Amino acid sequence: MWIEILLKKINRKNITITFSPHVFDRKEYWNLDLDKIEETIKLGKIFEKKCERPNKICFQRYFGKENITYIVITRFHKEFIEVKTTWPKKGR
């Protein structure tokens, strides 16, 4: 599958993560935590319904203590991952 090929090219645990201006616009509205967004990219599961070729991948991760799931839409580039948008969801 194309997602697996893309993930083999990039080690998402060590790569640089950048944020689009849209994320900073929404940060106050959604009360977003940038550390949780980075953790979602590095350790989260792939949410295949929102993925599109050639380089758009969606990750989601549940944080049990806060009872919040972060959903993060990213674009993969050669040297970095760009966060396009993100939003939290209550519960799983």
| CATH number of residue 13's parent domain | 3.30.2310
In this prediction, residue 31 carries a pLDDT of: 86
State pTM to two decimals: 0.85
In this prediction, residue 60 carries a pLDDT of: 94
In this prediction, residue 27 carries a pLDDT of: 83
Q: Return d(Cα 30, Cα 89) in angstroms, integer.
A: 10
* Domain count within the chain: 1
For residue 15, give Cα distances in angstroms to 12, 31, 56. Answer: 5, 25, 16
Residue 11 is part of which domain span? 2-90
In this prediction, residue 36 carries a pLDDT of: 92
Q: Which residues of the chain have pLDDT under 70?
A: none
In this prediction, residue 70 carries a pLDDT of: 94
